[in-house]
Structures are given as C-alpha cells and as structure tokens.
Amino acid sequence: MENSEQCEGQVAFALQEQDLSVWLPYHLAFVSAEQLQQVVVHFGSLRAGLAASEAVWQQAGILRENQLASLLAADSEQKVAAALAWAEKDANHTILTLADSRYPAKLKQIADPPIVLFVKGQVSLLQDPQIGVVGARNASRSAVQVAESMAAELSQKGITITSGLAAGIDAAAHRGGLKGLGKTIAVMGTGIDRIYPAQNKALAHQIAEEGALVSEFPLGARPAAFHFPMRNRIISGLSEGVLVVEAALKSGSLITARQAMEQGREVFAVPGSIANPYAKGCHQLIKQGAKLVECGADILQELEAHLADALLDSPAQQETAAQNDLFGHHVDDLSSEGNKLLSYIEYEPISLDELVVLSKMPASEIQAQLMMLELSGKIEALSGGRWRRLG
C-alpha cells in the first residue's frame, strides 16, 4: 500500500512539468492522459521519455504504432515551434496543460481529459459554471429560437454557454450566450486556427473577442469524423449539465448526452412535436430520465444549489456574491452605482450601448450592476440585450 501511494505521488509530481515544449510532442502524438501516466511510471518523467530511443519505446509497449511514429517524426520539432509561436503571438492565445493551474477543474475530473488545450480568448472563462447546449445542425426555426432564448436567459444569470460551433443549435446557443453576463465557449473539432463551418467565421471571431474558443487538436487540424465525439466529451466535461434542443435518434447530440451521463452530469431535453424526426432524440432522452425543460429557469431550479456554489467561486461573480443570492433573494440596499444606473432605466426597453452613453460608466460595471438590479427585482432582461424597469 505504501509503495502504491509513493508511486502515485511520484507520477503526480512528474506530471507537474511546466515546459510546453515537453508536453506538445505527446499532444501531437494524441497521447492520452492515462498513457501519459504510464510514460511517467516507466521513464520517470515526460522529458526522459522524449530522450528514449525507438527501441526502448517499442519495448515499453505504451504507445500504439501510429502514436510512436508521430512522437518520433522528423517534423515534430517544427510543429512544436509553430505551436509555441502561436501562443506568443497574442496575449489572448493560451496553451494549457494538465499541469497548469488554469486548466478547468471539472474537465480534469473526467476519465479521459485532453492533456493539452489551445484557448483563444478569456481563459479564465473555462473555470466558470457552464451549461452545454447541443442539437441538430439542420434545426427547425422554432428550435433555433428556443436554443438562443434559453441560452440568453441562462447567460443573463451568469452561466457560461458551451457548445460546438456547428450550424443550427450550436450557433444559436453561442449567439444567446453572447447576450448575457456568462458569455460563451466554443469547443472546436478542428485546430483552433481553422474555423469550421466557414459560415460561422464571424461568430467565431466574436466569441474569441468576448468569450473563448477551445480546441484539443493541433494547429491546422482539419475537420474529421472522429474529431467530433472527442470534442463532445469536452463540451459535457466542462459543463454542470447538458441541454439538448432538437436531435435525431442517431446524432452527435445523443452521443454528447450519453457522455454527459457517464461523466455524472445532468441532462436536459426540450420536447417537440411527435411528427418531427429531430424531436425523437429528445423524447428518447426524456424517457431515459433526462429532465424535460421548457425554459432556462427549469435548468436553474434543477441545479440551483450546485450552480449557486459554483457561481460564488466564479471570478466574474465575486464582487456581487457577498451582496446577493444568485437565485433571486432581494437586495434592499443597492450600491450608489446601482441606484445611478436605475435612474436611467425606464419602463421602455433600453440597451447596454444606450446606458453606456447616458451613465458614462464602463460597460463591465454596467453589466455587473444590471445583474444586481435584475436579481433584486428592480428590472427585467428582455431579448436583444435590453432591459426595462419593473417598479
């Protein structure tokens, strides 16, 4: 028992290697977290494994033949250098490893976490409480509206919306997430420098500016069929729960839902017409125990205690957490900034841009105060990023 604990401690210590140039060759070879631990046990460290000969690696039997070929490939150093150059090019470019303290804690808990993540945008967003939203690419107009509306409702409460940047429901979820405080994370099935589908390029640019793009795939990686189930486990792994809006019986959305269940996440499904083939997947999930939901409030109610704790730990919510309960306890004493902002909000809808002009306050401060005012029952959030006074 003592030797086992000592071995585990040595593995954990060896995996604290911070040098990206040591991690990236294993990443390029698609080495899993489990295999990475085996490397440390066998060689003593990740760095020592890189120095080992092909014969020694073959004798170790840790990697598959194609993985070993990638690890030892002549162009590996060039690809590592390109990745490092990408990270240094822009302050919003980040490469996270399992050893990085910024690596999302929930994702680290799944059975097969990616050993490296490329992030373009706000890396701190990955630690915030998230709801994954998935569904059909060829979704009906009503389903797209439902996805965007529910995502916006959740985002207004500070929940980050995580999806896969696909057409249809994914894109609608991202648009909704961008309307609120929580923003959105897009988990990609390509290299982070390659947007797919092309129709979502403008949306991806906005997400990179206001939220975060995430990929576990090397730079330049093209879309491939096996990439998307891998991407899906990250969507569910980052999230507190997964919402499915319109999905066929055989679809990637149901794969994501199954992965969510395996990871111990909650699954929510929006019902639809029995005549709609894209609703049958949601109906099957509901029969299997998924929570039937009709609005974002249904999800918040189901996860209330857990999400409240998570949001209190969120950097974006720390300023307001001491004054307010996330789920609607009234705030009797508004801050001077809150009262000032309230004076500009009438019974007619007003937008964030208009409030910036009128109040001369920073947009970030306005968003924080709007959340306080909404939770205190003074105002309500409307579609299109607008607010109005309630009383």
User: 16 is written with which tokens?
Assistant: 């604290």
| Average pLDDT rounded to a whole number, residues 281-304 | 92
User: What's the topology of domain 330-389?
Assistant: Arc Repressor Mutant, subunit A (1.10.10)
* Tens-place pLDDT, residues 69-92: 999 999 999 999 999 999 999 999
User: 326 is written with which tokens?
Assistant: 């996330």
Report d(CA 118, CA 191) in Å as an integer: 8
* Tens-place pLDDT, residues 326-335: 333 333 445 6
Query: The domain 119-305 is classified under which CATH number: 3.40.50.450, 1.20.1050.10, 3.40.50.1220, 3.30.70.2190?
Result: 3.40.50.450
Buried b vs exposed e over 318-332: b needs ≥16 C-beta within 10 Å? eebbeebebeeeebe
* Tens-place pLDDT, residues 202-233: 999 999 999 999 999 999 999 998 899 999 99
**pLDDT given at position 322:** 39
Percent of the chain topping pLDDT 70: 88
Report d(CA 38, CA 229) in Å as an integer: 24
| Average pLDDT rounded to a whole number, residues 38-49 | 94
**pLDDT given at position 196:** 96
Residue 128 sits at the vertex; the CA angle it makes with 377 and 373, to the nearest 5 degrees, is 15
187 DSSP 8-state letter = E
Residue 148 sits at the vertex; the CA angle it makes with 268 and 317, to the nearest 5 degrees, is 80
For the cut 70, the answer to whether the pLDDT of residue 10 exceeds it is no
SS3 category, 180: coil
User: 371 is written with which tokens?
Assistant: 């959340």
| Average pLDDT rounded to a whole number, residues 40-66 | 95
Find, among 260, 270, 199, 264, the residue nearest to 232 by Cα. Answer: 260
- Per-domain residue ranges of the chain: 2-76, 119-305, 330-389
